[in-house]
Structure 1
Amino acid sequence: MPKSTVLTLVGSLRADSINQKLAEAIQLNAPEQVDVVIHDSLGNIPFYNEDIDVEGQIPPAAAALRAAANEADTLLLVTPEHNGTVPASLKNAIDWLSRPYGAGALVGKPTAVVGTAFGQFGGVWAQDEARKAAGIAGAQVLEDVKLAVPGSMVRFAELHPKDDAEVVEQIKGVFDALEAARVPA
Structure 2
Amino acid sequence: MTTHHQTRVAVLLGSLRAGSLNRRIAEHLRDNAPEGVTVDVVEGLDTIPFYNEEIDGDTVPAGASALRQAVASADRVLAVTPEYNGTMPAVLNNAIDWLSRPYGQGAIVGKPFAAIGATPTPYGGKWSHEHARHSATIAGAVVVEGIVVDESAVEGDPLQNEEAIQRFLGALDALVAHEVEAAA
TM exceeds 0.5? yes
Aligned positions of 1:16-165 closer than 5 A: 16-55=19-58, 57-151=59-153, 154-156=155-157, 161=159, 163-165=160-162
- Aligned mate of 1:167, from 164, 168, 171: 164
Identity of aligned residues (%): 47
The separation in 2 between residues aligned to 1:110 and 1:93, in whole angstroms, is 16
Return structure 1 stretches of 4+ with deviation > 6 angstroms: none
- Asked whether the 8 Å contact 1:19–1:80 carries over to 2, the reply is yes
Q: Which runs of 5+ in 2 are unaligned?
A: none
- Asked whether the 8 Å contact 2:78–2:113 carries over to 1, the reply is yes
**Aligned-pair CA distance for 1:143:** 2.8
What do residues 97-146 of structure 1 show as CA deviations (whole Å, max 9, x unaligned)? 00000110111100010010011010000000000000000000113101
**Aligned-pair CA distance for 1:172:** 3.0
The separation in 1 between residues aligned to 2:175 and 2:110, in whole angstroms, is 13
> How many residue pairs are counted as aligned between the two chains?
179
**Aligned-pair CA distance for 1:184:** 4.8
- Asked whether the 8 Å contact 2:82–2:117 carries over to 1, the reply is yes
The separation in 2 between residues aligned to 1:6 and 1:184, in whole angstroms, is 17
Taking structure 2 as the reference length, what is the TM-score of the superposition?
0.92
Query: What is the match of residue 181 of structure 1?
Result: 178
- Asked whether the 8 Å contact 1:131–1:143 carries over to 2, the reply is no
What is the root-mean-square deviation of aligned Cα atoms in Å?
1.5
**Aligned-pair CA distance for 1:164:** 2.6
The separation in 1 between residues aligned to 2:165 and 2:31, in whole angstroms, is 10
**Aligned-pair CA distance for 1:71:** 0.2
